[in-house]
Amino acid sequence: MVFLDFEQPLESLYEQLEKIQQVGQEGDVDVSVMVRELENKIKNKRKEIYSNLTGWQKVQLSRHPERPYTLFYIKQMCRKFTELHGDRYFKDDKAIVGGLASLDGQTIVIIGHQKGINTKMRQYRNFGMANPEGYRKALRLMKLAERFGFPVVTLIDTPGAFPGMEAEERGQAEAIARNLLEMAQLRVPIVCAVIGEGASGGAIGIGLGDRVYMLENTWYSVISPESCSSILWRSWDFKEQAAEALKLTADHMFEFGLIDGIIKEPLGGAHTAPEEMAKILKKQIKKAIAEIQELTIDEMIETRINKYASMGVYDVVEPLKEEESDKKVKA
Amino acid sequence: MGWFKRLKDGIQTATRNKKEAPEGLWYKCESCKEASTMKEMKENFYKCPHCNYHTRINSFDYFSLLFDGPYEELFIDLVSKDHLHFTDLKAYPDRLNEAYRKTQLSDAIAVAHGKINRRPLIVAAMDFKFIGGSMGSVVGERIARAIDFARQNRTPLLIISKSGGARMMESAFSLMQMAKTSAKLSQLAKAGVPYFSMLTDPTTGGVTASFAMLGDINFAEPKALIGFAGPRVIKETIKRDLPEDFQTSEFLLEHGFLDFIVDRKDLKETVSDMVSYFDPQKMDKSKMLEE
Ligand SMILES: [Zn+2]
């Protein structure tokens, strides 16, 4: 087990538990009462820690090395899955995966950022940072879904689109922008869920949909807390403050009306019970698809666009009385 | 809102006075370091007469360059709000007030409606001086309304981008403006009203990765910095120096992301040509390709 810094009290309780269990195995002492007591203690401690997580702690959880990634969820949720590769123009991006799947008999196209599970695979997946061909592969698969009327599901988990030289040459910005435009008009339901990190353009590049959810311990922001710290505080040391200031947690995002719902995680985070997490996620995705399918296609697209059109907060000030006469003078 | 009324008085006074004042002053070119008078600069479309360096100009300068005469500024009543109570080294409201005071602008974009060679055009032009031309809710909403205006009046839309990217102090609201502006543009495209996107120095981040790259025609001023990630971030990532022309207009043209580059002296005629090709007023929608 990997413990995060704020989980230290749990780590020592687990150590005690292990020791007692060992004693129980070795000798004739009955430790069952002590074990039960400790297990209760662990449960309560976990509740205590997890009921009060800060923004930064949730960022840490979203990056937990044991956290389930896209391919795990796909395999858990879908009876069949056939991965489809390549953008048909340049190559196959390993940081975004996608393909055809069967969700309890319904064919869907499912796409997501993919991180690696060990050092070698993290390199292979480019740490979940996609290049333009990743976004273009995603779009190709979405257009395939559109032609055959399959709902689209996207799972978001990226520290950002890759900031590399070749990414710029091949039009990282254009690839993300194109996806946003096309996803707005896609004639099939789109359900998105942030399952880990939702960093900026790299996240939203596959994240425009009829329903957008966040798992409880994830974040979604225009910039990572670290980069925000380095730009606005001019130092890397203010990531905790930046995480608070950015209000990047699922609670805030839901309160702001920028996501459609929060998906509860098992106590202690998705990684403590990944199969259970996949079940909860699947249930929500199925429910969402069914709800969206109640609309006609045109209603669905109109509702989708209106949802995004209403996102934004600003003040409206009184126009000046003299303004009318002044307007024309400016040129 | 007293401060904003004062601000608006300020803007109007400043815009009126600006035209006469600075002719005696000198401008030292950032590129070739040669000096020119402000009068020479103005007559040369705010480009260096020695090396043709295109200086960064503001939204109202573009309006003057493009429109035949009077124009009407739209949606000026929308102003930024500190919904997140965002504080870094400075509180967001203080940053905004400082920007109002220093720039006399109402946000990082201004929208105006007027005529270009007697044909109607709506222009949304960004201002880099206002918090780095960053895109917050007001930028997104003004663009969304400009798109609605273009759609309802079947008037071509020109957006002039000049932005460092997202307005971090509006966090995810800023991010969602990418989706919002792109979704609205998809409606404009469906309606068959042309959208011209001009990218100027600099255009990076979320602005490039949304409306700036989505023009029916994409073009740029010479030697502008255009990209998704900033050059500093890329350099830190790849730990190598970047090629001389990397992320310039010329680089983007070469890699297939721009239709052409336009010298500012030809800007009005070029945009006017675009408007006349498309002329959505006359266009017969039944002859257009069905979706
Ligand atoms: Zn010069």
Give me the DSSP letters along A167-221.
HHHTTHHHHHHHHHHHHHH-SS-EEEEEEEEEEHHHHHTT---SEEEEETT-EEE
Q: How far is CA A2 from CA A5, A8, A47, A65, A66, in A?
A: 10, 10, 18, 8, 8
**Whether residue A164 sits in one domain with residue A211:** yes
**Whether residue A223 sits in one domain with residue A153:** yes
B127 lies in some domain: yes
Q: Over its length of 331 residues, how does chain A's per-residue pLDDT go in tens digits?
A: 889 999 999 999 999 999 998 888 887 788 889 999 999 999 999 999 998 899 999 999 999 999 999 999 999 999 999 999 999 999 999 999 999 999 999 999 999 999 999 999 999 999 999 999 999 999 999 999 999 999 999 999 999 999 999 999 999 999 999 999 999 999 999 999 999 999 999 999 999 999 999 999 999 999 999 999 999 999 999 999 999 999 999 999 999 999 999 999 999 999 999 999 999 999 999 999 999 999 999 999 999 999 999 999 999 998 655 444 444 444 3
Residue B70 and residue B132 in contact, taking contact as beta carbons nearer than 8 Å: no
A314 lies in some domain: no
| Sole residue written with tokens 């297939």 | B256
B213 lies in some domain: yes
A46 lies in some domain: yes
Q: How far is A24 from chain B (nearest CA, A)?
A: 52
The beta-carbon neighbor of B242 closest among A161, A165, A318 is A165
Q: Please state, in angstroms and rounded to a whole number, the distance separating the CA atoms of residues B212 and B220.
A: 10
**Whether residue A206 sits in one domain with residue A107:** yes
A180 lies in some domain: yes
ipTM for this model: 0.94
**Whether residue A122 sits in one domain with residue A30:** no
Q: Which residue has the higher pLDDT, A25 or B179?
A: B179
Residue B81 and residue B129 in contact, taking contact as beta carbons nearer than 8 Å: no
**Whether residue A110 sits in one domain with residue A35:** no
**Whether residue A216 sits in one domain with residue A70:** yes
**Whether residue B212 sits in one domain with residue B72:** yes
Selected for mutation to probe chain B from A237, A314, A326, A328 (highest B CB count within 10 Å) is: A314
Contact (CB<8Å) B209/A232? no
B125 lies in some domain: yes
Residue A50 and residue A268 in contact, taking contact as beta carbons nearer than 8 Å: yes
A26: domain range?
5-52
* CATH number, domain with residue B201: 3.90.226.10
Contact (CB<8Å) B171/A320? no
Residue A320: the pLDDT is: 57
Average pLDDT over residues B22-29: 78
B86: domain range?
56-280
**Whether residue B81 sits in one domain with residue B218:** yes
**Whether residue A21 sits in one domain with residue A155:** no
**Whether residue B118 sits in one domain with residue B257:** yes
A65 lies in some domain: yes
Contact (CB<8Å) B5/A222? no
Question: At residue B13, does pLDDT exceed 80?
Answer: no
> Which tens digit of pLDDT belongs to each residue from B160-169?
999 999 999 9
> Which tens digit of pLDDT belongs to each residue from B122-159?
999 999 999 999 999 999 999 999 999 999 999 999 99
Residue B279: the pLDDT is: 81
Contact list, B60 vs chain A (CB under 8 Å):
330
Q: Please state, in angstroms and rounded to a whole number, the distance separating the CA atoms of residues A20 and A14.
A: 10
| DSSP code, position B195 | E
Q: Please state, in angstroms and rounded to a whole number, the distance separating the CA atoms of residues B209 and A167.
A: 12
A331 lies in some domain: no
What backbone torsions phi and psi does residue A184 show, to the nearest 5 degrees?
-60, -35
Residue B125: the pLDDT is: 98
**Whether residue A302 sits in one domain with residue A159:** yes
Question: At residue B23, does pLDDT exceed 90?
Answer: no
* CA contacts within 13 A on the Cβ side of B89: 9
Run of H or E including A157: strand A152-158
Residue A41 and residue A14 in contact, taking contact as beta carbons nearer than 8 Å: no
> Which tens digit of pLDDT belongs to each residue from B32-43?
999 999 999 999
Residue B290: the pLDDT is: 54
**Whether residue B217 sits in one domain with residue B110:** yes
Pick from B166, B6, B92, B91: nearest CA to A317 = B6
Contact (CB<8Å) A222/B8? no
Across chain B, what does the average pLDDT equal? 91
**Whether residue B225 sits in one domain with residue B171:** yes
> Who's near B114: CB < 8 A, 6+ residues apart?
A331, B63, B66, B67, B68, B69, B70, B71, B72, B120, B121, B123
**Whether residue B180 sits in one domain with residue B36:** no
Mutual angle of helices A132-148 and A172-185, in 10-degree steps: 20
Ligand 1 centroid distance, CA of B40 (Å):
12
Question: Domain total for chain A?
Answer: 2
Residue A58: the pLDDT is: 96
Residue B266 and residue B226 in contact, taking contact as beta carbons nearer than 8 Å: no
| Token pair for B29 | 């070119």
Q: How confident is the model at residue B88 (pLDDT cuts 50, 70, 90)?
A: very high
**Whether residue B216 sits in one domain with residue B126:** yes
Residue B169 and residue B180 in contact, taking contact as beta carbons nearer than 8 Å: no
Ligand 1 centroid distance, CA of B224 (Å):
15
Ligand 1 centroid distance, CA of B49 (Å):
7
Question: Domain total for chain B?
Answer: 2
Contact (CB<8Å) B144/A309? yes
**Whether residue B73 sits in one domain with residue B216:** yes
Residue A29: the pLDDT is: 82
Residue B195: the pLDDT is: 98
Q: How confident is the model at residue B287 (pLDDT cuts 50, 70, 90)?
A: low
Residue A326: the pLDDT is: 47
**Whether residue B214 sits in one domain with residue B104:** yes
Residue A328: the pLDDT is: 42
**Whether residue A42 sits in one domain with residue A97:** no
**Whether residue B93 sits in one domain with residue B41:** no
**Whether residue B51 sits in one domain with residue B66:** no
B227 lies in some domain: yes
> Who's near A287: CB < 8 A, 6+ residues apart?
none
Q: How far is CA B142 from CA A13, B79, B200, in A?
A: 56, 10, 19
Residue B182: the pLDDT is: 98
Contact (CB<8Å) B180/A309? yes
How many interchain CB pairs under 8 A, A with B? 229
A211 lies in some domain: yes
**Whether residue A122 sits in one domain with residue A46:** no
**Whether residue B44 sits in one domain with residue B94:** no
**Whether residue A176 sits in one domain with residue A96:** yes
A136 lies in some domain: yes
Contact (CB<8Å) B214/A173? no
Residue A1: the pLDDT is: 82
> Who's near A105: CB < 8 A, 6+ residues apart?
none
